[in-house]
Structure 1
Amino acid sequence: MSLGYVVKEGIAGISRARLAAFTSMFSLFIAVLLLGLLARLGYNGYEVAQSLKQSIDVEVFLVDLDDRTTNELSREFEQQQLVQEVTYISKDSAAAIFENEFGAAGSSLADLKFLPASFKLNIDPDADVSQVDSLVGEIQEYRGVDEVQFNQQLLKRIESNFETAAMVGGGLGVLILLASMILVFNTIRLTIYAKRDLIKAMKLVGATNGFIRRPFVVEGVLQGLIAGLLAVGVMFGAFHYILPEYIPQLGILEWPFGRWYYLCGAMLLLAVFMGFWGSQWAARKFIKETSISE
């Protein structure tokens, strides 16, 4: 079977069942566009969550220590896997920060240097609450440590909200994928039904199921390709030209991995795959069931 014949028959299949093909392509277009939007917003949500988690530091307040013990503590903190950066805040620095935040009203208190020296530990944003809790418990046992503080509730809320959003987004994505593939499946099924007499005739002259199936698979791939190109065009145009014009804040949102073509390429491949799988599924099932004796 020549490639030209397969492609020609695939295109002809779309023209024979125009309404069904249009419904299938439109559904694929909407599905891929929605999945692209979910991926884009999900990526940006992940970045925001990571940024918020980076702002949550563990503060370690010290009793009065000599320089040698302070340096030893600093080295121990730096050896912790979850700690990305260690910042030492001396009593003088703490007093200066206090005076800067409270102005003239706090200058007299700052002169007393009542604030203890401390370490600020920048934690790996990929660390979860249990890991940070374990680290805090370990640090509290260090000699010279008076108190350890970190915003546990905020970290828990960030993790909980992100996990919920990821589950909801993932569930919606799966439902959209299934619905679109079923629509492609039904479109190819209608096309096969319309050509059932021709399929019987082809089987009578010895055509195999694989030979008959290929044009229908090409039809599904073409539907996916057209829908994917439309979805990519709308996604790119909306986020590059239309939305930034009316909502400038959206212009600063990064594309996944920093480039538009990663997401757009994935959307196009997904649309083609969905068209291929839906048509392959239908063609295998219904061509095999089309009996010569019917």
Structure 2
Amino acid sequence: MGKSFEQYQKQKLISSYFSVMLSIALVLFLLGILGLLVINTKKMADHFKEQITISVFLKDEAKESEVDQLQKTLLQAEHTKAAIYVSKEEAAKQHSEEIGEDFQDFLGYNPLKNSIDVQLKAAFVTPEQIEEIAQNLSAKTYVEEVSYDKPLVGLLSENVKRISFWILVASGVFTFIAFLLINSSIRLSIYSKRFIIKTMQMVGATKGFIRRPFIWTNVKLGMLGALIATAVLAVVLYYLDKNFPELELFEDIEILAVLFGAIFITGILISLVCTFFATQRFLNLRTDELYY
């Protein structure tokens, strides 16, 4: 009879530990998915920003050496992702292909200008910085005009700020919810051992001595939960990368490593903090309050 009860207690304990570990793993997995969303939202925003083109139209009398020097200077600049020279002949050919007919047959000449199309790095695509770059280029004597889509730049910057703000808010809310869910699981686990805690306290054990095994046990569960969450997240990433290679999910390995490390550390920290306060609560209760 005693052996059977002992086995029952052991199974109940294992079940309790398993439920805590599973809860931690599930919550951390959801946080990891949110982290991936944040990373890829930034990547997508950067992709759209880098499609913005500044067209530097050159005067017909611009010397070849001046054009070459300008292109080299632009390519070496920290804000430039690409600087492509487009001759007036190439521009005319592209325009004819777009409209489906050769406009030079009607005009009798090519009105287009030689130009350099400049694509900026995402960090420099703001209305203020693009305007400053455009003014610097316009100041050159052999530059006819500098053109870019101002309304599009302003709209893109505004939308990126708005989306980033709401993603930040969502991240904060989900992190808080994750803390509450993990805290509830750990508190329920410790609640079942409240009489053991009080018995140890009554025979003279210090609060630190009583807390230590609970903290260490739940930290280990947090670590296991975090490992499970990262493993499942890695499988999901692999599946998505295989089926949607255009997402380039494994392009930034360092960022993914930081994300996985953050999940692991979050699992440990939340388990530690929640266990500390849960055990402290039962340590501070009177004996008659344990029944409520």
Rounded to whole Å, the distance in 2 between the matches of 1:63 and 1:189 is 74
Q: Which residue in the other structure is 1:286 paired with?
A: 281
Q: Which residue in the other structure is 1:8 paired with?
A: none
Q: Give the residue type in structure 2 aligned to 1:131.
A: Q
Q: Which residue in the other structure is 1:98 paired with?
A: 95
* 2:26 counterpart of 1:44: no
Percent same amino acid at aligned positions?
24
Rounded to whole Å, the distance in 2 between the matches of 1:254 and 1:220 is 32
Residues 139-198 of structure 1 deviation map (CA, whole Å, 9 limit, x = unaligned): 223223222111233333333333333322222222222223233334444454544443
Conserved 8 A contact 2:23-2:185: no
* Aligned counterpart in structure 2 of residue 141 of structure 1, from 139, 142, 165: 139
Residues 112-163 of structure 1 deviation map (CA, whole Å, 9 limit, x = unaligned): 1211122222212211312112211232232232221112333333333333
Q: Which residue in the other structure is 2:201 paired with?
A: 203
Q: Which residue in the other structure is 2:82 paired with?
A: 85
* 2:167 counterpart of 1:173: no
User: Matched residue pairs, number?
Assistant: 278
Deviates more, 1:113-122 or 1:252-261: 252-261
* Aligned counterpart in structure 1 of residue 158 of structure 2, from 151, 157, 160: 160
Evaluate the alpha carbon distance shift between residue 54 and residue 279 of structure 1 in structure 2; reply closer, same or farther with a 3 A threshold: same
* 2:63 counterpart of 1:62: no
Conserved 8 A contact 1:240-1:251: no
Question: Could you say what secondary structure the match of 1:120 adopts?
Answer: strand
Residues 55-108 of structure 1 deviation map (CA, whole Å, 9 limit, x = unaligned): 211101122223154445445545644234333323333333334434443352
Conserved 8 A contact 1:203-1:292: no
Conserved 8 A contact 1:25-1:226: yes
* 2:99 counterpart of 1:108: no
Question: Could you say what secondary structure the match of 2:144 adopts?
Answer: strand
Rounded to whole Å, the distance in 2 between the matches of 1:156 and 1:178 is 33
Rounded to whole Å, the distance in 1 between the matches of 2:22 and 2:162 is 30
Deviates more, 1:68-77 or 1:219-228: 68-77
Q: Which residue in the other structure is 1:128 paired with?
A: 125
Deviates more, 1:143-152 or 1:96-105: 96-105
Question: Could you say what secondary structure the match of 1:126 adopts?
Answer: helix
Evaluate the alpha carbon distance shift between residue 94 and residue 275 of structure 1 in structure 2; reply closer, same or farther with a 3 A threshold: same
Rounded to whole Å, the distance in 2 between the matches of 1:186 and 1:40 is 26
Structure 2: gaps of 5 or more residues: 1-8
Structure 1: gaps of 5 or more residues: 1-11
Conserved 8 A contact 2:241-2:248: no
The alignment yields a C-alpha RMSD, in angstroms, of 3.7
Q: Which residue in the other structure is 2:244 paired with?
A: 249
Rounded to whole Å, the distance in 2 between the matches of 1:251 and 1:56 is 20
Rounded to whole Å, the distance in 2 between the matches of 1:104 and 1:174 is 55
Conserved 8 A contact 1:228-1:271: yes
Rounded to whole Å, the distance in 2 between the matches of 1:118 and 1:207 is 81
1:206-221 mapped onto 2 (5 Å cutoff): 206-221=204-219
**What is the TM-score when the length of structure 1 is the normalising length?**
0.75
**What is the TM-score when the length of structure 2 is the normalising length?**
0.75
